[in-house]
């Protein structure tokens, strides 16, 4: 299990550590369709930022604007204070597309070598770096294999390998774990966490919410080309814990009016003796639970179980998808 080992990611250039991304009023239209609408976003250096949203929400377009693949847009993108459209920033960025593709005649080694050379890497350093990156991703055995003979997962890893090969200060990953098995996903997560510790800024899109939860410092939810929610992962996790819903199951139901208990907003019957209770906004859920238990017991009933319903990241995500843009 390589993913438990510390992963060495040496920086080849001292200037590379720490590059932030600043997006100001980014809009992009295709003919009459506006796919990105006035996005403002600041990603400080060394942060891992996750961009989540449904298909067609504008994640890939936003990432392509950041790396300069889309150049015809309104607004401004600054990479470490310099325009993303300038030529100075391009060597500091590593990009992994959603489905990395390589020209058919190349093998893994040749594919990585040309990219490293184009990034200005010295041939000797490049050769050892290729081995290091391939070993890190457990695909060293495929080094001389033609890219046409690689599986989808290995191609995905090769796509990741070329993005980190030149030790960029900003790493932009479009669905980096979409076609990987759980072990490989864990491996990539480990590498991203290691890169963060070394000061690399990582911007990634994903629809695998558990991956986002594990590695992102901050999350942006994008829908219809607008960021509808932006928050620290800690805050989202807190939001997941704070709930206004209580599931109550009674072993002896006294048939009292639960809605009359102070702090209870509404009561849904979910079974013969079970209820889902919504707590009124501003009320402490724990206090309301105490009141419910007390009222039930005093009325001759008994409680089998009572617990607050915690949200999943998916619940938070779904809730914010319909939210108003920031």
Structural tokens at position 184: 């490989």
| Interface with other proteins (CB under 8 A), residue from 36, 50, 59, 115 | 115
Cα 179 to Cα 27: distance, rounded to the nearest angstrom: 30
Q: How many chain residues touch other proteins (CB under 8 A)?
A: 27
Segment lying near other proteins (by CB under 8 A), choices 104-112, 222-230, 266-274, 277-285: 104-112
Closest distance between other proteins and the C-beta of residue 94, in Å?
8
Residue 125 interacts with other proteins (CB under 8 A): yes or no: no
Q: Does 204 bind other proteins (CB under 8 A)?
A: no
Residue 18 CB, shortest distance to other proteins, in Å, is 20
Q: Does 101 engage in binding with other proteins (CB under 8 A)? A: yes
Q: How far is the CB of 9 from other proteins (least distance, A)?
A: 19
Q: Which is nearer to other proteins, 117 or 238 (CB)?
A: 117
Of 120, 152, 262, 323, the one binding other proteins (CB under 8 A) is 120
Looking at 8, 118, 269, 287, which residue binds other proteins (CB under 8 A)? 118
Q: Provide the minimum distance between the beta carbon of 162 and other proteins in the complex, in angstroms, as a whole number.
A: 6
Phi, psi of 226 (to 5 degrees): -125, 145
The answer to whether 93 and 172 are in contact (CB under 8 A) is: yes
For the bound state, the minimum distance from the C-beta of residue 152 to other proteins, rounded and expressed in Å, comes to 14
Instruction: Report the site for other proteins in 78-97 (rule: CB under 8 A).
Output: 87, 90-91, 93, 95, 97
Binds other proteins by CB under 8 A, chosen from 2, 10, 56, 69: 69
Q: Is 31 in the site for other proteins (CB under 8 A)?
A: no
95 or 275, CB closer to other proteins? 95
39: exposed, middle or buried (Cβ count in 10 Å: 0-12, 13-18, 19+): buried
Q: Taking CB under 8 A as the criterion, which residues in 126-165 touch other proteins?
A: 162
Question: Binding residues for other proteins, per CB under 8 A?
Answer: 67-72, 87, 90-91, 93, 95, 97, 99-103, 105-106, 110, 114-115, 117-120, 162
């Amino acid at each position: 299990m390589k993913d438990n080992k510390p992963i060495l990611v040496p920086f080849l250039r001292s200037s590379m550590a720490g590059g932030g991304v600043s997006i100001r009023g980014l809009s992009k239209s295709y003919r009459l369709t506006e796919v990105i609408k006035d996005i403002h976003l600041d990603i400080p250096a060394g942060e891992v930022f996750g961009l989540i949203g449904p298909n067609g929400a504008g994640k890939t377009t936003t990432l392509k604007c950041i790396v300069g693949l889309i150049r015809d847009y309104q607004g401004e993108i600054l990479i470490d204070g310099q325009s993303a459209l300038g030529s100075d920033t391009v060597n500091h960025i590593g990009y992994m597309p959603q489905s990395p593709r390589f020209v058919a005649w190349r093998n893994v080694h040749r594919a990585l070598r040309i990219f490293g050379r184009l990034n200005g890497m010295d041939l000797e350093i490049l050769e050892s770096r290729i081995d290091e990156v391939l070993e890190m991703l457990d695909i060293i055995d495929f080094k001389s294999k033609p890219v046409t003979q690689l599986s989808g997962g290995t191609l995905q890893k090769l796509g990741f390998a070329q993005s980190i090969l030149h030790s960029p200060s900003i790493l932009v990953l479009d669905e980096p774990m979409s076609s990987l098995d759980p072990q490989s996903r864990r491996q990539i997560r480990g590498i991203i966490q290691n890169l963060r510790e070394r000061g690399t800024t990582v911007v990634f899109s994903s629809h695998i919410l558990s991956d986002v939860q594990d590695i992102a410092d901050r999350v942006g939810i994008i829908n219809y080309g607008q960021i509808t929610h932006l928050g620290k992962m800690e805050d989202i996790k807190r939001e997941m814990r704070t709930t206004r819903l209580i599931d109550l199951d009674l072993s002896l139901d006294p048939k009292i009016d639960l809605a009359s208990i102070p702090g209870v907003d509404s009561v849904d019957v979910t079974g013969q003796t079970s209820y889902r209770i919504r707590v009124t906004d501003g009320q402490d859920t724990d206090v309301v639970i105490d009141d419910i238990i007390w009222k039930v017991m005093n009325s001759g009933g008994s409680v089998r179980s009572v617990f607050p319903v915690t949200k999943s990241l998916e619940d938070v995500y779904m809730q914010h998808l319909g939210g108003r843009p920031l």
